[in-house]
Amino acid sequence: MTSTTTIFQLGAEVLRRQAQPVDDFACLEFHKLIETMHETMLESNGVGIAAPQLGVSRQILIIASRPTTRYPHAPDMQPILMVNPSFEIVDGTLYKDWEGCLSVPGIRALVPRYQAIDVQYQNQQGEFCRLALQDFPARVFQHEFDHLLGLVYLDRVENNQDIIAETEFFKRIAA
């Protein structure tokens, strides 16, 4: 990754736009974007990333739950690229847990999300795939999917008192 890759921050207009579907899976720019997204996510200690965070309003996301300095207790899974994703709710119960975002640095918040979902998406070659996700990987998917809708996790917070500084978050998980 080049040092010029910028993660767009809260307030950038691209983060508030609904992303457009991908229809050209052979395009060189599409494949370069995927590579840049993956590298940026890894270098930033993220567990997921969406194309709008790199300034590209397309329906592309990567989920990659793994223990990092930002999420030390995350379960380990292989990165999964998802193009034009959608999901169905398996269990309508909402569970609150802590989230942060590469586009909203320094803040964490308790966000309600579905614990179990079924995801439909296309892979890098345009083939249709399905995947059942639960717990933390399901949370990561829903967080990244929100970016494709023009939302950030703070839009899902039910109470402003559920928002804290990241330094306080790390104190809480260390206790």
User: Among candidates 126, 131, 154, 132, which has minimal Cα distance to 59?
Assistant: 126
Residue tagged active-site, from 35, 144, 158, 166: 144
- Residue 105 has phi, psi (to 5 degrees) of -70, 150
User: Among candidates 26, 23, 7, which has minimal Cα distance to 15?
Assistant: 7
Distance separating alpha carbons of residues 108 and 119, to the nearest angstrom: 25
73 carries a ligand binding annotation: no
User: Among candidates 78, 5, 76, which has minimal Cα distance to 39?
Assistant: 5
Task: State the residue for tokens 């890894």.
Answer: 42
User: Among candidates 64, 41, 65, which has minimal Cα distance to 54?
Assistant: 41
Distance separating alpha carbons of residues 22 and 66, to the nearest angstrom: 27
Strand ordering across the sheet containing 80-89: 48-50, 60-63, 80-89, 116-122, 128-134
35 belongs to the catalytic site: no
101 carries a ligand binding annotation: yes
Residue stretches of the annotated binding site: 101, 143, 147
Residue stretches of the annotated binding site for Fe cation: 101, 143, 147
Active site residues: 144
